[in-house]
Every structure is written in structure tokens, then in C-alpha cells.
Chains A and B, each alone.
Chain A
């Protein structure tokens, strides 16, 4: 599933909307004069939220950190034909379009 495919699905399945531009990358972090929090790792979050009380490894330690990406769908941004803000939507090969932002 790519953006071209998504555009075709949107044209047929989401009347009144069209594909919008992706959000551009911001300035590089080295150009910022500010503190940045790069976020905790999944391991740190697991340690915090899933660790049993006895301090042993979490019971789900063998699980993968996330499932394989679904290649049959894609996240894009869509916007109303008549104007208005763009929103994140998931578009699937089976023709399903979900606006998930908001």
C-alpha cells in the first residue's frame, strides 16, 4: 500500500476529502536552544509498568516490542475538499478509510 494507492481509495471511499501533504521534518535538533526529552525506551517502560513485585524480569519479557507493520494499510493525511485542517487517517487495501486523529 503506498500513497498513490491511498489516493485512489480516498477518492472513491471518502467523498469530500483528498490526500494532504505530509508534515515536513523540522529543523535539526542541533539548531535548537532548548532541553529535549527523547522519551523512554520500551524496556524502561516495561521495567516501570510490568515488573512483578519480586523484582524479577517481567513475565512477558520474551514478547516482541511490537507487531510487524501491516503492509496492507498506510497512514496518510487527508483534508476536506472545501478547506479545513488535514487529519491523520489510515487507508487499507480493502478500501477502508479511518480518520483517527481527533
Chain B
């Protein structure tokens, strides 16, 4: 069964080339939301998680992502809204998107509610009460296996899915009330008006067939009955659905847990786009292992129909890259698509499934992007493979499996991985030998409960650059399973944080241990909700004049950085349209108001920030950094920035500065990096924090320093004049609409990698930097600022204080000479003074 709306399209017409946006579904397990654009023809497929409407902590919400893609204010007109199947991570927040007018669809093609939930024709889902244990148990049994969640998360998951059927019914009613032409999919071809509306997209509806839908519905229906039977047998278990669920689907159950299969194999399957840029989107269809009684022959027909509609340039893996979704033979049948995309959340060790990842890795020539590591993914399949995919973070072709957040998700010990032997020792003491798996484990030995967790120094899997240096040595902190100790005084420093959010980011135990260590080292700690911290900090500074510095603990999602107009209204007005020549239109992230001790909106007290990057190891390494000891130096400058040589002379040490274009990343030696002071006067980019570039005088930018060169141990200070070198979130201040764009991982940032290595400070810019080719320090936009910092650092001033004083001196000079500067020159200096920030402890 295939309904082809258009066989081929003219690839020369931009409106029919097709752009596919795979939205970031955050950290929660599973999830999928895809926007297909062919000019004004837009198809929105599925709605991620219900919590993605408001946004998971640290991730853009679905409305925010739609705004970034489509621009302007909602409502966003959608030609066709699709619900591929009825799992909660696909129905997601579609109800809210429609009810609150974020999207305005014209047509809807949705999984038939009765077939999708295995209900009889007379069933009314609006009568369902999500608090009814029978409803809740049936709902969780219809979902994927969730036994890997700990009890708390499982309870939350049950709460979330219990209402999905009722919410889905609400969605259908709202769509209908809004005048949307809703087609419950029952295996039939598209209605003619719908087919015509989506024709520009080249959409081909491939299935599943009516018979396949019915086989699946029968399996789903059996699940509903199973829930009722279980509660009939054990009515008292209604008070503890978590335990009952584990009994029903756990390893001791007689029934294999294949319940998710029924819904997955109802996934509405499409091909899009013109020949040469064909795309397959098939929800969670289990092409490789259907697992639905009686449905194998129908799935085989669907596979054949899918293959016939190819070959494909882009394939979104099905069922979150599970082994039952696809295999090598299936990919071969698709024509070996060179572009592969995975959708799913980060905290999911089994999706992408490790062996499926290996299978993909072994396929030559593919480009693989994944929402869990790459955020929002945009694919233009008509472009060459090397330039067809853009991602909002990380690197493509990351084939490493996820690990669960072991503070959040307790994984039962897999059979055969743990062995324990008890033998009698002297005095009757038992000696137990345990072979540990590479995963968190809860086990009982001789009646004693044992929890085994990974080292507290590591939480986030490391890959690529910014590699994991392993357990720290040196530094001023020591970390044990029971806590953290900072072996130096932090007296006179004000630490500000939101404990709850910091806990959420790096783990409760780690956050509490770090904050306790700060207080034990005589640091002053104030806590509160993130939005209150800047004012709380300023008030504390006003009342306690003994404080010499502020240290923000956590990323922007813990304590917001402030979107700041670096030039003020007068200069902005004088610049007029010339603001558009600045890469940020002079908006930058700034923490300066945390140091405003007199309410004049100018920071007086040095402010530094230790970002967490969702990585407790990085956080602890940066918090435990040692005071700076001036010794040697290492620096690289762009060939077109000779002014840096003059500033360089202010720095201790005798080593000459390297100059790129000649000096390249490949010329960096390990011995160079042993020096405790590094200076980079190179180019940087807002979308890629992993590379600093030099400059070819003939045009173009050679790679002069990359994240792979960041040393694994570094106890010093870095000063970077590179554009956006200290940007620690995936978003410029210019474009931000919320306080906290998603944080960058250390693998995506040279600055964060230095902190991970133990740097005391990484001084850099949150926006584009100004300097210029002039060597006259009064004509160059950066020379006086850089030199002022270097001089103070050489005088053994702490880097946070050195930066504050250097900026003050630079501003004072600028203001004293303002009458000779035209607005653009003033604006560039104001911007530099505002955007330079101190990452790391800084003291």
C-alpha cells in the first residue's frame, strides 16, 4: 500500500528541496519531534515529551525550538500534523501546542485512537481517570520496558503516561473543534484534499496496512486486559503500582515484556522528498523484529514498500535506534542512506542500542547525528553529504553509547555480570569477592544491601576532545566518596548558587559535598532560586564590605548570566544601522551585575563563574584549582594581530609567541602546554567552541589550536582574545529568549576543557572580540585591555581581580578619550570591557 503524492520534484526550486528539523528532546528517555519544511508546506510529526512544552531544565522547549526554526511569533501554520503512534514520548506536548495556539494545523493524520489504545468501539477515553490504578497500570504496560528506572523515576513515569490516552482524546477533540480536518489512520490512502495539500513535499504514505494495525491493536488490548486481571487478582496492589509493575514485567515474570511492540508497529510510515534527496521517517516501526503476533507477513510487505519508495539519502532510525527497529540488511534495502539521524534523550543507556551503534559505525561513509549529543539537528538532504547536516551542539559521528545518570537511575545488576563468593575467614569473618560490571549495581550479599556507583569524579561520558583525565591529582581539593575537601582558604569570597539546580546538574551528593567544602574553607555561601541570585549577591556585597570577590557556582541554568547591552542606548542610537555589522549587535552575556555593590548597574567587585557543564568532575576540578604561580608562557596569535606581541612582553617568561598562519594546531607540542600561562589571540566562532583559528593573509582561517590539544592536566591561567571563546552555552546573547540556553559539554568547548583539566581561570569573551591590525595600543581596540591584565597577573594578582582592575583601567582610559572617538570605536571598547569574563575559581 503506497500513496504517492508526487513522484519527483524539481530540485532547483528551493521550496521543494526539503529541510528536516529533528528537535532536541533533552535528557528524558525516548522522545521524537520532527518538522519537515518544503517552503510553506510544513509537516509536524509527533510532539516529544509532555515536559518539552515548558522545556526540560537546560534544554530549549519545543515552542522555543519552533520559534528558532520558523521565526516570528506563534501561531505557526502547519499543513499537516502527524501522530505516528500513541506512545507518550510521541504524543508528548501536542495537546498543549494546539490548545495554546503555538501550532495551527490545517490537516491532521493521527493514529486511530481506538486502534492505538486497543479499545473497543464503544470505549470513551474521556471518562478515564488517570488516578485510577487500572488506568495507570494499563498505560505503563503499553509503554516500553521501564524497569530500568529507579522507583522514584518509575513512579514519575507512570504519572506521566497514565493520562496519555485521555490527553490524546483531548487533542483529537481540540483539533476537530478548531476546524482541522482530522484523519484517524486506519490503513487507507490519504484523502484527496490532504494529498494535494502536502504534494510539494513529495510525501508518500507507505503504511502500515489495516491488517497490521489490527494485529497490533489486539496485542495492545491484551495489555489492557492484563492490567485489569492483575488488579483483580491483587486488589491491595493498587496502592503500589510500581511494585506491581515490576512483578508483572520484571525478570521473574513469566511473560516477556513485548508490550511496546504493538504501539511501535502501528507507526505511520512516510517517505518524503525528490529522487536523490529521499527521506524515510517511520516513527518507532520495528522493521527488524516486529514482535507482534501474526504481524510478520504484514511487516515484510511494509519493508518491501519502503524499499521500493527509495533509495534514500536520509534515514531517521526507528524506535530510537533500537536493535528491533533496523538491521544491516534493512539499511541495505534502503539503498544505504549516507545520512542517519537518531532521536532520543540522553539519559538512556539502551537507546541508541549499543550493537546497533556498532552496526552503524561499521557502515562506511555515513554521517550520523543524534539529538542526545547533537541537540537540534537540521538536515538538507539535497546538499552534499558533508554539508547536509547541521547540529546545535557536539560533533556528528559520535557512536558511543549513553550511560545512565547513576545518581538518578539505578540499574539492576544484569545476570551473569556480578559474581559474589563468600568464604569463611579468620574469626568467622566472611571474605566476599565481587567482579563488578561497568555499570551501577544494587545487590544483596549475605543479607547486606550494597549500592555500587561509578567514581564520583566522573558523571558525563567523555568523547573526542576535552578527554577525561581520570581521577585528579594535585590541585587544592581532595574528593572522597563521603565528601570534598578544599585545602586552601576561600575567606573573603562570596559564593552564590541554586543548590537544587546544581544538584540536578551534577548530582545531589556531589553538589552538597562541594558546597560544604566551600563553607569549610571559609567561603561565604548564599543560596536561592537562580532568578534571585544576582540581586542577593549585590545586596550581600553592599552589606559586607569585607568581601573581595563573587564566585558563581554553576552554569547559566543555575545562576543566570544576564543578556547585556554592551554599549547602552546613547551609543546604540548613534550607531544606527551599523550595529548590524557586529556579530552580536553588541549584545553579550555578562555576570558583572553580580558584583554591583552600590546599585549603579556597574560591577565593582570581581566576579568569576565555575560552570558545571553537567559534569561533577569538571566542577570539582575547577573548584579545587590551586593559586596561580607565574612561571613560563605559551601563546599563539593570528598573523594579522601583531599588537599581541607588545602585550605579550608584559607577561613573565621569555618564550616567543607563535604566529599563525605558519603555526598550526599540528605544531603544538605537549611540552608547550606545560607552561602555566596560555594566551590565544586567534579567531573563534559562536557555533563551534572547539577550534581557534589563525588567518591566511590571502583569505581563510587555518586551525591554530583545537580542543584535542587541551592538556589533560593544567594548573594555570588562560587568556583568550578569541571571539566567543568563553561562550559556555549553545546560544549567543543576541538570540536568547530565555536565561538558560542549553549548556555546552566540555567536549564542545576549549574553555570548559581547560577547566576540566584544573585551570584556575579561563579569561575570555562571550561575544565577538575587537582588536584589529593596528599596533598602536591607542588605535587597537584590545591592546590596552590585554596588557593591563597581563601586568596585573605578572604582579601576582589573582586572575579574577586582575581582570576586574584591567577592565576598570581600560574603561577609564576609554571614557577619558571618548570625545575623540566616533561611536563605533567607543562601542567596540565598551563591548570588550563588558564581555570579558572569568571562568573558573579565579582566585
> CB of B653 within 8 A of chain A?
no
Q: Are B739 and A37 in contact (CB under 8 A)?
A: no
* Residues in chain A near residue B571, CB distance under 8 A: 42, 66
> CB of B819 within 8 A of chain A?
yes
> CB of B357 within 8 A of chain A?
no
A-B contacts, 23 of them at CB < 8 A, read A23-B580, A26-B734, A31-B73, A35-B531, A39-B834, A40-B601, A41-B568, A42-B568, A42-B570, A66-B818, A66-B821, A67-B821, A69-B574, A74-B578, A75-B578, A75-B824, A84-B701, A85-B701, A87-B683, A100-B772, A101-B770, A102-B684, A102-B769
Given contacts A17-B699, A42-B818, 15 further A-B pairs with CB under 8 A are A16-B698, A23-B582, A32-B737, A33-B739, A34-B563, A37-B564, A48-B600, A48-B602, A50-B815, A66-B818, A66-B822, A85-B701, A87-B683, A100-B770, A101-B583
Q: Are A80 and B699 in contact (CB under 8 A)?
A: yes
Residue of A nearest to B735 (CB): A26
Q: Are A34 and B739 in contact (CB under 8 A)?
A: yes
A99 to B721, CA, bound (A): 15
Residues 40-82 (chain A) with a chain B CB within 8 angstroms: 40-42, 44-50, 60, 63-70, 74-77, 80-82
For residue A57, give the distance in angstroms from its CB to the closest CB of chain B.
14
Whether A37 contacts B601 in the complex (CB less than 8 A), given A17-B699, A32-B738, A102-B682, comes out as yes
A79 to B830, CA, bound (A): 25
* Residues in chain A near residue B771, CB distance under 8 A: 100, 102
Q: Are B574 and A23 in contact (CB under 8 A)?
A: no
Q: Are B723 and A44 in contact (CB under 8 A)?
A: no
CB within 8 A of B580: which of A22, A33, A36, A42? A22
Q: Are B822 and A84 in contact (CB under 8 A)?
A: no
* Residues in chain A near residue B828, CB distance under 8 A: 100
Q: Are B600 and A40 in contact (CB under 8 A)?
A: yes
> CB of B826 within 8 A of chain A?
yes
> CB of B349 within 8 A of chain A?
no
> CB of B581 within 8 A of chain A?
yes
Lowest 4 CB-CB distances: which A-B pairs, in order?
A16-B699, A22-B580, A75-B581, A39-B568
What count of chain B residues pass the 8 Å CB interface test? Answer: 76
Residue of B nearest to A74 (CB): B578
* Residues in chain A near residue B812, CB distance under 8 A: 49-50
For residue A72, give the distance in angstroms from its CB to the closest CB of chain B.
11
Residue of A nearest to B772 (CB): A100
> CB of A38 within 8 A of chain B?
yes
> CB of A98 within 8 A of chain B?
yes
CB within 8 A of B700: which of A37, A77, A80? A80
Q: Are B698 and A40 in contact (CB under 8 A)?
A: no
Q: Are B570 and A85 in contact (CB under 8 A)?
A: no
* Residues in chain B near residue A47, CB distance under 8 A: 600
> CB of B640 within 8 A of chain A?
yes
* Residues in chain A near residue B548, CB distance under 8 A: none
Q: Are A66 and B580 in contact (CB under 8 A)?
A: no
Q: Are B568 and A66 in contact (CB under 8 A)?
A: no
Q: Are A35 and B563 in contact (CB under 8 A)?
A: yes
* Residues in chain A near residue B570, CB distance under 8 A: 41-42, 65
A101 to B641, CA, bound (A): 10
